[in-house]
C-alpha cells in the first residue's frame, strides 16, 4: 500500500529529494559559473549532482511512497525509471568530461538540468497538471537546446518549437476532456472513471492525448520532427534526446496504458491500434534509415525504429512486459551512449568520411562494430537478449489474445532485423571494407578505456542476462 | 579430461585473443600460431576417437557423449515461468563426424591462408573466431547456444569475404550476410516458440520444491509430475522453460496447450494451434527448413553462394564449402528433423523435390559457367541436393548417405577449391576458356585436378561414390518402405550424375588437354607446377577422399547408432 505523506509538506519534500538534489546542484552550478570563469567544472558538477541524486534514490526506501496529496508516487516501475534517467544523464555527463572544447558552457548545462529534472518529475507524477508541467519543462529545455549554438540548427529548433507547441496544445485539450469527463485531475482516478464512459466520448480525448505522447517518443505519425532536430544537434545531445525524455515518456506510458488495456474501439483493443502504429513506425524508421548518408540521420531513424521496439513490451504489459521493457531500455541506454561517445570523439558525420578509418583506428572500429551489432540485435550482445525477451513476451501475449495484429507485429518486427542489419552495417563497411584516406584523429587513452568498457559490457551483459534481470527485479 | 569439448571450442578463441594483443612487428608469426592452434585442436579432436563409444543408443539426452552441462542462466520471469538456458555441449555420431571434418578442413584452410598478404592480424583473429563458432555450432545441445554460435559465424565471414575478397567483394559479402540472416530469423522464430512450449521437467521439479536436486529425483516422482503437467495442474510460475535440444525431441516435455504441443497419442495427432488448417508445428518445420536450406544452400535459396565463392579468397572458399554449408545440413538433421519429425514427414515430398531440383539445376548451371570457381560453386549446390534427397527418404541408407555426403563433400569441395586457388594464385584468372593444354605445362597440377574432379563426379573408390550410392539406394527404398520419395524424383536426380560427369570432363578437355595456349602470353612464365605448400594441402585431402571411399565402414560405424535411432523415430510418423 502507498504510504501517504500527503498532509505534511515537509515530509513531501523529503520524498522528492532526488529531484531536489538536482535542483540544488543546478543552483550551485549557476553560482559557480558566475564566480569561476571556467567551463571545465560544468560536467564534473553535473556528474556529482547526478551521483548524489542517484545515491539518495537508492538509499532512501521510496518504493510505494506517495506525497503532495497523491500528486507524486513511487512504484517499482517508476523507481527504476528514475534510475535509468539518472543513469543516462550520468553517461551524458561522462561524454562531456572528454569533450571540454565544445560549446558546453553553463547555459548549455542548465538546459540539460532542465530536461533531467523534468523527466525525473514526469515519471513519478500522478496528476495531469504535474504531468503537463514536467513535460513542458522537458520540451522547453529541448527547444532551447536545439537552438543552442550557431548555424543551421535554428531552423530546426523553430520547427521543433512550433510542432511541439501544437502537439502539447492538442494534448492539453485531451487532458481537459479527461477532466471534464471525470472531474478529477488525478490520472488514475480519472482513468478508472473514464473506462466506464461511452466509447466515442473517450476516443476523442484519447486520440488527442496520445498525439502528445507519440510526438514526444517519435512514433508515427508524429515522428517527422526527429530527423531534422537530430541532424542539427551534437552527438552527445542526440544521446540525451533519445534517452532521458523518451524513457520518462515510455515509463509513464507503460503505467498509463496498462489502466486502459481492456479498452475497445469498435471491436479492436487499444493494444492493436498501438501495434499498428508500432509497425508503421518500424517500417518508416528502418526503411528511411537505409537511404541516410550521415550517421546522425541513421541515429535519428534508428531512434524511431527503436521506439516501436519499446512500444512492444508496453503493449504486452504485465510482469513479463515490464521486465522485457526495462531490460530493453537498459540495453538501449548502454549501447546508444557507447555509439554516441565514439562518434562524439571522432566528430565525423558523413558516412563517406569514415572510409578506411578502421585501418588507422582499429580499436575504435572494433568497438563501434560490436556496439552496432548490438543495435542490430545479433548475438552475442545485449541487444540480442533484449530483442529475445521482447519477442518472447509478444508471442506469449499474441497467442493468449489470439490477435492477428499482434502476430503480424511479431513477424514484422522480427524480420525488420534484416533491414536494420543493412544500415547499421554501413559504418563497419565504410571503416573496414572501403578503401580510402581518413582524417587523422587523436584519441586519449582515457576515452579509449571508457569506449572499451561500453563495448565489453554490451557483450558481457548478454552472458549475464540473469544478473541484469535480478537487478531489475530487486526493486519489486 | 571431462571438459575436452569446451577446450576444443574455446582454444581457437584464446589464440585469437593472443594474436590480437601481439605487436604488429611479429606479423610473420601469426600464420604459424594459428596453424599451431589448428593442429592442436585437430589432435584433440582425433584423441576423442579412441574413447568415443560406438554403441550408444537412442536419440534423447542419453545418446550424447563427453557431455558438459551446467546452467548458464535461470531467471524467474513471474507469470511466464522460469526462463533458463544451459551451457550444454555434447557429441553423437553426427556431430562427431562434422567435428572431425571441421578439424581437417580448418587446418587445410589455414595452410591455404598462407597466401594472404595484407592485414594478417585481423585475418587470423577472424579466422580463429570463425573456427570457434563452427565447433560451438556442431557441439551445442542447447538451442540458444547453438543460435549464438550459428549467428556468430556470420560476422567473421562477412569481414573475411569483405576485406580479403575479389573485386565484387562488397556486394558478395553483404549478400551473404543478408541471405543467411533471413534464414537465422526463421530459426529464431521457431526457437522462441519452442522456448514457450518446452519444459525441463527435472529442473521444474527442483523449482517446485519437490526434490532437493536433480540427481535425487525418483522415476516415480517424475512420472507423477509429468502426469500433473499433462493435466495442467502445475503453476506456470515454477515451470522451467528451456532451450535444451534433446528435451525438445520428446513430446512429453511440451507444455499442454502450448504452440508446438501435440497430444501424446501418436496415432491421429491432435494439435493445439492450426493456421489455415495446417498445424503450427508444420510451419515450424518449414521455417527451420528454409533457415537451413539457405545455409545449405538449396535451390531457390542458393544465389548467394556463387557470388560469395567467386569473391572469397581461396582459404575462405575452402571453409565456406567445406564447413559452413555443412552447418545447414547438420542443423536440418539436428533441429528440423529431430524436433519436428511430424512436419518433416509431412513435407518430405517438398524436401525431396527441392533436393532433385538442386541436383539437376545446379548441374546445368555448372555446365554453363565460364568461371572455374563458379562452376564448382554450382556443383556444390548440386551435391548438396543429395543431402536433401537422402534425408527426405528417411531410410537408414538415405540418412546415412546424406550424412556421408556432408562429410565427403566437405573433403572433396575443399580439394576442388584448393586446386582452383592454385591457378588463381598464379595468373589471377579463372576463366576456363582462357587456357588450353595446361597439362603440358603443369602435369602434377593436372593430375591433382583430375583426381579432384573424379572424386567429385563420384567415381568408385572415392568417398563421393559411397555417399551418392547410399542416397540413391535409400531414396529408391523409400518407395517400398514408406513412400516418402516418389521414384521419378530419384530417376531424374540420377541424371545429375551424368551432368556432373559432363561438366567436369568437358572442363578437363577444354582446359588441360590439347596444345598449350593461354589467352595472355604472360601466363606462361607464371604457370609453374605445384609447390610444396600446395602438395601439403592436396595430398591429405586426396588421401582422405580415397580412404573414405575404400573404407566406408570407418565413418558408417560412427554414425550408425545415431542414424538407426533417428530413422526409428521417423518411422513412427512415416507409417
DSSP state of B24: G
Nearest to B538 by CA among B422, B389, B371: B422
Decide if B181 and A395 are in contact by the 8 Å CB cutoff.
no
Grid cell locating B31: 600464420
Decide if A415 and B173 are in contact by the 8 Å CB cutoff.
no
The residue of chain B nearest to residue A388, with distances taken between CA atoms, is B192
Predicted-complex ipTM score: 0.89
Q: Which run of H or of E encompasses B279? A: strand B278-279
DSSP state of B53: -
Rounded to an integer, what distance in angstroms lies between the CA atom of residue B214 and that of residue B476?
46
In terms of Cβ atoms closer than 10 Å to its own Cβ (0-12, 13-18, 19+), residue B498 is: exposed
| A152 C-beta neighbours (distance < 10 Å), count | 11
**pTM for this structure?**
0.92
Where does A125-152 have alpha helices with state H? 128-147
- Which residues does chain B have within 8 Å of residue A320's beta carbon, measured at their own beta carbons? 77-80
- Which residues does chain A have within 8 Å of residue B80's beta carbon, measured at their own beta carbons? 319-320, 392-393, 396
Nearest to B159 by CA among A368, A366, A432, A378: A432
Rounded to an integer, what distance in angstroms lies between the CA atom of residue A317 and that of residue B78?
13
Q: CB–CB of B234/B105 below 8 Å?
A: no
The residue of chain B nearest to residue A423, with distances taken between CA atoms, is B174
Nearest to A417 by CA among A458, A387, A462, A444: A387
Nearest to A7 by CA among A70, A72, A75: A70
Grid cell locating A9: 509538506
Q: What are phi and psi of A355, to 5 degrees?
A: -55, 125
Interface of A with B (CB under 8 A): 318-320, 323, 359, 362, 373, 378-380, 384, 388-389, 391-393, 395-396, 399, 410-411, 414-415, 417-418, 421-422, 425, 428-429, 432-434, 463-466, 469-470, 473
Q: CB–CB of A94/A153 below 8 Å?
A: no
SS3 letters across B452-486: HHHHHHCCCCCHHHHHHHHHHHHHHHHHHHCCCCC
Rg (CA), chain A: 22
Grid cell locating B4: 575436452
Closest in B79, B173, B196 to A392, CB measured: B196
Mutate which of A384, A396, A397 to disrupt the B interface (most B C-beta within 10 Å)? Answer: A396
Closest approach of chain A CAs to the CA of B355, in angstroms?
A: 26
The residue of chain B nearest to residue A378, with distances taken between CA atoms, is B151
What are the C-alpha distances in Å from A381 to residues A65, B75, B200? 36, 18, 25
Q: How many CB pairs under 8 A join A and B?
A: 91
Q: Does B75 touch chain A (CB under 8 A)?
A: yes
Non-local (6+) Cβ contacts of A322 within 8 A are: A77, A254, A313
Q: CB–CB of B159/B176 below 8 Å?
A: no
- Which residues does chain A have within 8 Å of residue B286's beta carbon, measured at their own beta carbons? none
Closest in A373, A392, A466 to B155, CB measured: A373
Where does B296-395 have alpha helices with state H? 304-311, 314-319, 325-331, 338-339, 341-346, 348-368, 372-393
The residue of chain A nearest to residue B186, with distances taken between CA atoms, is A415
Non-local (6+) Cβ contacts of A447 within 8 A are: A98, A341, A345
Closest approach of chain A CAs to the CA of B498, in angstroms?
A: 39
Grid cell locating B160: 573475411
Closest in B80, B151, B192 to A379, CB measured: B151
Helix (H, G, I), strand (E, B) or coil at B371: strand
Question: Along the 476 residues of chain A, how does pLDDT read in single tens digits?
Answer: 455 665 677 778 888 888 999 999 999 988 888 887 776 778 888 899 999 999 998 888 777 788 888 888 888 888 899 999 999 999 999 888 876 655 667 888 889 999 999 999 999 999 999 999 999 999 999 998 888 766 667 888 888 899 999 999 999 999 998 888 888 888 888 877 776 666 777 888 888 999 999 998 888 888 888 888 888 888 888 999 999 999 999 999 998 888 777 777 777 788 888 899 999 999 999 999 999 889 999 999 999 999 999 999 999 888 888 889 999 999 999 999 999 999 988 888 888 888 888 888 888 889 999 999 999 988 889 999 999 999 999 988 888 887 888 889 999 999 998 899 889 988 888 888 888 776 777 888 888 899 999 999 999 989 888 887 887 777 66
- Which residues does chain B have within 8 Å of residue A392's beta carbon, measured at their own beta carbons? 80, 83, 192, 195-196
The dihedral through the CA atoms of A232, A235, A239, A240 has a sign that is: negative
Closest approach of chain A CAs to the CA of B277, in angstroms?
A: 16
The residue of chain A nearest to residue B272, with distances taken between CA atoms, is A399
- Which residues does chain A have within 8 Å of residue B151's beta carbon, measured at their own beta carbons? 378-379, 384
Decide if A393 and B80 are in contact by the 8 Å CB cutoff.
yes
- Which residues does chain A have within 8 Å of residue B181's beta carbon, measured at their own beta carbons? 378, 417-418, 421
Decide if A418 and B159 are in contact by the 8 Å CB cutoff.
no
Closest in B119, B147, B192 to A379, CB measured: B147
Helix (H, G, I), strand (E, B) or coil at B431: strand
Q: Does B526 touch chain A (CB under 8 A)?
A: no
Decide if B170 and A429 are in contact by the 8 Å CB cutoff.
yes
Rg (CA), chain B: 24
Nearest to B93 by CA among B66, B71, B120: B66
* pLDDT in the model for residue A2: 52
Decide if A380 and B152 are in contact by the 8 Å CB cutoff.
yes
Decide if B159 and A433 are in contact by the 8 Å CB cutoff.
yes
* pLDDT in the model for residue A104: 66
Decide if B273 and A399 are in contact by the 8 Å CB cutoff.
yes
Q: Tell me the average confidence (pLDDT) per consecutive run of 10 residues in chain B, 575 residues long.
A: 86 92 87 92 91 77 86 83 90 92 94 88 92 94 93 91 88 91 92 89 81 77 78 77 89 81 59 73 92 91 91 92 93 92 89 94 92 92 93 92 94 93 88 88 91 92 92 90 88 91 92 87 83 91 93 90 89 79
- Which residues does chain B have within 8 Å of residue A399's beta carbon, measured at their own beta carbons? 196, 259, 273
| B53 C-beta neighbours (distance < 10 Å), count | 7
- In DSSP terms, B271 is beta-bridged to B262
Decide if B79 and A319 are in contact by the 8 Å CB cutoff.
yes
Q: Does B174 touch chain A (CB under 8 A)?
A: yes
Non-local (6+) Cβ contacts of B552 within 8 A are: B404, B463, B466
| B152 C-beta neighbours (distance < 10 Å), count | 21
* B433-467 as b/e: b if 16+ CB within 10 A: ebbbbbbebbeebbbbbbbbbbbbbbeeebbbbbb
- Which residues does chain B have within 8 Å of residue A374's beta carbon, measured at their own beta carbons? none
Nearest to B373 by CA among B439, B296, B437, B429: B429
Q: How do strand A268-269 and strand B65-76 relate by DSSP bridges?
A: unpaired
Q: How far apart are the two ends of chain B, measured CA to CA in Å? A: 43
Q: Does B148 touch chain A (CB under 8 A)?
A: yes
Decide if A417 and B155 are in contact by the 8 Å CB cutoff.
no
Decide if B147 and A422 are in contact by the 8 Å CB cutoff.
no
Decide if A415 and B178 are in contact by the 8 Å CB cutoff.
no
Amino acid at each position: 500500500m502507498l504510504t501517504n505523506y500527503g498532509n505534511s509538506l515537509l515530509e513531501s519534500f523529503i520524498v522528492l529529494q532526488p529531484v531536489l538534489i538536482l535542483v540544488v546542484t543546478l543552483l550551485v552550478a549557476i553560482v559557480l559559473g558566475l564566480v569561476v570563469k571556467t567551463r571545465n567544472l560544468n560536467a564534473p558538477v553535473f556528474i556529482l549532482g547526478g551521483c548524489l541524486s542517484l545515491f539518495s534514490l537508492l538509499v532512501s526506501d521510496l518504493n510505494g511512497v506517495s506525497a503532495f496529496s497523491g500528486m507524486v508516487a513511487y512504484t517499482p516501475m517508476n523507481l527504476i525509471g528514475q534510475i535509468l534517467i539518472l543513469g543516462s544523464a550520468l553517461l551524458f555527463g561522462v561524454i562531456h568530461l572528454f569533450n571540454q572544447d565544445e560549446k558546453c558552457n553553463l547555459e548549455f548545462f542548465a538546459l540539460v538540468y532542465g530536461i533531467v529534472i523534468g523527466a525525473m518529475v514526469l515519471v513519478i507524477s500522478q496528476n495531469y497538471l504535474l504531468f503537463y508541467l514536467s513535460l513542458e519543462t522537458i520540451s522547453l529545455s529541448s527547444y532551447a537546446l536545439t537552438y543552442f549554438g550557431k548555424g543551421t540548427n535554428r531552423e530546426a529548433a523553430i520547427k521543433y518549437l512550433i510542432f511541439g507547441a501544437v502537439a502539447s496544445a492538442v494534448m492539453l485539450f485531451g487532458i481537459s476532456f479527461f477532466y471534464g469527463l471525470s472531474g478529477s485531475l488525478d490520472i488514475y482516478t480519472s482513468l478508472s472513471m473514464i473506462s466506464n464512459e461511452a466509447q466515442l466520448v473517450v476516443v476523442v480525448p484519447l486520440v488527442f492525448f496520445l498525439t502528445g505522447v507519440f510526438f514526444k517518443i517519435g512514433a508515427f505519425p508524429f515522428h517527422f520532427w526527429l530527423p531534422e532536430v537530430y541532424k542539427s544537434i551534437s552527438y552527445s545531445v542526440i544521446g540525451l534526446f533519445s534517452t532521458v525524455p523518451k524513457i520518462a515518456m515510455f515509463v509513464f506510458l507503460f503505467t498509463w496504458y496498462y489502466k486502459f488495456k481492456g479498452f475497445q474501439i469498435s471491436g479492436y483493443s487499444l493494444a492493436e491500434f498501438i501495434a499498428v502504429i508500432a509497425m508503421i513506425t518500424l517500417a518508416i524508421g528502418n526503411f528511411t534509415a537505409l537511404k541516410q548518408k550521415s550517421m546522425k540521420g541513421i541515429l535519428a531513424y534508428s531512434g524511431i525504429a527503436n521506439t516501436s521496439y519499446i512500444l512492444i513490451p508496453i503493449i504486452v504489459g504485465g510482469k513479463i512486459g515490464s521486465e522485457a521493457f526495462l531490460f530493453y531500455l537498459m540495453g538501449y541506454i548502454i549501447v546508444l551512449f557507447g555509439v554516441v561517445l565514439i562518434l562524439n570523439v571522432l566528430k565525423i558525420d558523413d558516412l563517406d568520411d569514415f572510409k578506411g578509418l578502421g585501418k588507422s583506428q582499429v580499436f575504435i572500429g572494433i568497438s563501434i562494430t560490436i556496439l552496432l551489432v548490438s543495435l542490430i540485435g545479433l548475438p552475442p550482445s545485449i541487444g540480442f537478449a533484449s530483442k529475445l525477451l521482447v519477442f518472447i513476451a509478444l508471442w506469449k501475449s499474441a497467442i493468449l489474445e489470439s490477435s492477428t495484429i499482434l502476430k503480424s507485429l511479431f513477424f514484422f518486427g522480427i524480420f525488420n532485423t534484416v533491414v536494420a542489419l543493412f544500415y547499421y552495417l554501413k559504418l563497419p563497411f565504410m571503416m573496414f571494407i572501403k578503401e580510402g584516406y581518413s582524417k587523422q584523429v587523436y584519441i586519449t587513452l582515457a576515452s579509449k578505456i571508457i569506449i572499451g568498457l561500453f563495448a565489453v559490457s554490451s557483450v558481457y551483459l548478454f552472458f549475464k542476462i540473469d544478473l541484469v534481470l535480478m537487478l531489475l527485479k530487486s526493486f519489486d | 579430461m571431462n571438459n575436452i569439448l569446451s577446450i576444443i571450442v574455446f582454444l581457437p578463441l584464446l589464440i585469437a585473443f593472443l594474436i590480437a594483443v601481439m605487436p604488429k612487428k611479429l606479423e610473420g608469426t601469426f600464420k604459424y600460431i594459428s596453424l599451431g592452434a589448428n593442429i592442436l585442436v585437430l589432435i584433440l579432436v582425433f584423441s576423442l576417437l579412441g574413447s568415443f563409444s560406438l554403441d550408444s543408443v537412442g536419440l534423447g539426452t542419453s545418446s550424447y557423449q563427453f557431455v558438459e552441462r551446467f546452467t548458464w542462466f535461470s531467471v524467474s520471469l513471474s507469470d511466464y515461468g522460469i526462463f533458463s538456458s544451459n551451457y550444454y555441449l555434447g557429441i553423437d555420431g553426427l556431430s562427431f563426424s562434422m567435428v572431425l571434418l571441421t578439424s581437417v578442413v580448418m587446418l587445410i584452410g589455414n595452410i591455404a591462408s598462407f597466401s594472404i598478404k595484407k592485414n594478417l592480424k585481423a585475418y587470423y583473429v577472424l579466422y580463429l573466431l570463425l573456427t570457434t563458432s563452427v565447433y560451438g555450432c556442431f557441439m551445442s545441445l542447447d538451442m540458444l547456444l547453438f543460435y549464438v554460435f550459428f549467428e556468430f559465424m556470420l560476422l567473421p565471414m562477412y569481414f573475411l569475404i569483405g576485406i580479403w575478397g575479389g573485386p565484387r567483394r562488397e556486394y558478395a559479402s553483404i549478400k551473404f550476410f543478408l541471405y543467411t540472416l533471413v534464414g537465422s530469423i526463421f530459426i529464431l522464430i521457431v526457437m522462441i516458440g519452442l522456448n514457450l512450449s518446452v519444459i525441463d521437467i527435472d529442473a521444474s521439479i527442483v523449482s517446485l520444491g519437490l526434490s532437493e536436486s536433480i540427481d535425487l529425483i525418483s522415476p516415480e516422482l517424475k512420472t507423477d509430475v509429468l502426469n500433473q503437467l499433462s493435466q495442467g495442474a502445475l503453476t506456470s510460475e515454477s515451470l522451467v522453460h528451456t532451450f535444451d535440444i534433446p528435451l525438445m525431441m520428446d513430446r512429453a516435455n511440451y507444455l499442454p496447450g502450448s504452440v508446438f504441443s501435440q497430444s501424446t497419442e501418436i496415432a491421429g495427432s491432435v494439435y493445439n494451434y492450426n493456421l489455415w488448417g495446417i498445424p503450427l508445428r508444420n510451419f515450424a518445420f518449414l521455417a527451420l527448413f528454409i533457415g537451413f536450406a539457405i545455409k545449405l544452400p538449396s535451390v531457390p535459396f542458393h544465389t548467394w553462394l556463387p557470388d560469395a565463392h567467386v569473391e572469397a579468397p581461396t582459404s575462405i572458399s575452402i571453409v565456406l564449402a567445406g564447413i559452413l554449408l555443412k552447418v545447414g545440413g547438420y542443423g536440418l538433421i539436428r533441429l528440423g528433423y529431430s524436433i519436428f519429425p511430424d512436419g518433416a514427414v509431412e513435407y518430405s515430398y517438398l524436401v525431396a523435390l527441392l533436393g532433385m531440383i538442386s541436383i539437376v539445376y545446379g548441374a546445368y548451371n555448372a555446365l554453363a559457367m565460364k568461371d572455374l570457381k563458379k562452376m564448382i560453386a554450382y556443383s556444390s549446390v548440386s551435391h548438396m541436393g543429395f543431402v536433401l534427397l537422402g534425408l527426405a527418404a528417411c531410410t537408414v541408407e538415405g540418412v546415412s548417405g546424406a550424412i556421408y555426403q556432408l562429410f565427403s563433400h566437405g573433403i572433396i569441395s575443399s580439394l576442388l577449391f584448393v586446386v582452383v586457388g592454385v591457378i588463381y594464385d598464379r595468373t589471377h584468372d579463372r576463366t576456363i576458356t582462357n587456357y588450353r593444354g595446361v597439362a603440358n605445362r603443369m602435369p602434377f597440377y593436372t593430375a591433382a585436378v583430375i583426381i579432384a574432379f573424379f572424386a567429385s563426379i563420384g567415381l568408385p573408390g572415392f568417398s563421393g561414390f559411397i555417399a551418392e550410392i547410399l542416397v540413391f539406394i535409400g531414396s529408391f527404398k523409400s518407395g517400398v518402405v514408406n513412400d516418402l520419395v516418389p521414384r521419378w524424383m530419384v530417376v531424374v536426380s540420377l541424371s545429375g550424375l551424368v551432368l556432373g560427369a559432363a561438366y567436369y570432363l568437358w572442363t578437363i578437355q577444354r582446359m588441360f588437354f590439347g596444345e598449350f595456349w593461354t589467352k595472355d602470353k604472360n601466363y606462361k612464365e607464371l604457370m609453374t607446377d605445384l609447390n610444396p605448400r600446395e602438395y601439403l594441402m592436396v595430398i591429405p585431402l586426396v588421401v582422405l577422399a580415397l580412404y573414405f571411399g575404400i573404407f566406408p565402414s570407418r565413418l558408417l560405424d560412427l554414425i550408425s547408432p545415431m542414424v538407426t535411432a533417428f530413422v526409428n523415430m521417423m518411422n513412427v510418423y512415416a507409417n
